[in-house]
Amino acid sequence: MVKRLVLLAFLVFSGVILSDRLMAQRILGGMSLGMNLTQVDGDEFFGYHKFGLNIGPMVAVPFGKGRNWSVSMELLYSQKGSYHSGSADSTRYRLTLDYVEIPLILHYTDKNLISGGVGVAYGRVVNFKETQNHYYDNLYTYKTGLSNNEFSFIADMQIRIWSKLWADLRYQYTMKSLRTVVVDNPWVYPRNPFTRYQYNNVISIRATWVFNQQKGTYVPPRHADSE
């Protein structure tokens, strides 16, 4: 499944590169590099304490009057998960979730300087690891195994900072729970186990270089009566 997704995305990106001369004004290509700040809602730990890589290529198709609208597709390697290290109780917990991810986003760009977008993403787990010390051995009873597939919602904001370089702030949240656990909290007495559904909660800070985008300052559209 992962190999098929990667092959499909590779063919799309290769086609864009090979047709660059013919379609430079129609399709934009870029590369993003940044960092994920992540937590897993439903794991009983709070805060974006797990850091990960967010990297991959992008293609975008502008459309509409003035080409202010665009649809983009990315192929990302995105590291998510959860981390907790207690200072007073000497506890430690880490959940590592690495994904191959394909976001599809609708953008609106104003004056070629600032852009906002919303979209969805499909992700496939390529690496999973959960480590905990003895204090957490009985924290969870797993009602369902971890899903290898993730569908998530994305809200994205970009600002052009120099030439073809854009700064990108992105928020992403899982639409359907990754797994279901029964929590038996060792800090609470009497113990009353309860069910929690776990979701990836991610803030991404990235830089994106758009290869074939015009360097630009905003140029107001010309009106017919001004000619």
Three-state DSSP state, 11 = helix
pTM (2 decimals)? 0.82
Q: What ranges do the domains of the chain cover? A: 2-20+29-214
Q: Check whether 5 has a pLDDT greater than 60.
A: no
> Model confidence at 96, in pLDDT bands (50, 70, 90)?
very high
Query: Quick one: fold of 2-20+29-214?
Result: Porin (2.40.160)
The confidence score (pLDDT) of residue 184 equals: 79
Rounded Cα gap, residues 67 and 27, in angstroms = 11
pLDDT in tens, 42-79: 988 889 999 999 999 999 999 888 889 999 999 999 99
Share of the chain above pLDDT 70, in %: 75
> Model confidence at 18, in pLDDT bands (50, 70, 90)?
very low
Strand partners of residue 37: 51, 203
Q: By C-alpha distance, which of 92, 74, 72 is closest to 83? A: 92
Q: Check whether 91 has a pLDDT greater than 90.
A: no
Rounded Cα gap, residues 99 and 116, in angstroms = 24
Q: Check whether 19 has a pLDDT greater than 60.
A: no
Q: By C-alpha distance, which of 206, 203, 200, 205 is closest to 81? A: 200
Neighbour tally for 207: CB within 10 Å = 14
Task: Tell the residue number behind the tokens 């992105």, with chain if given.
Answer: 170
pLDDT in tens, 117-166: 999 999 999 999 988 776 666 677 888 889 999 999 999 999 999 989 99
Q: Which amino acid, 181?
A: V
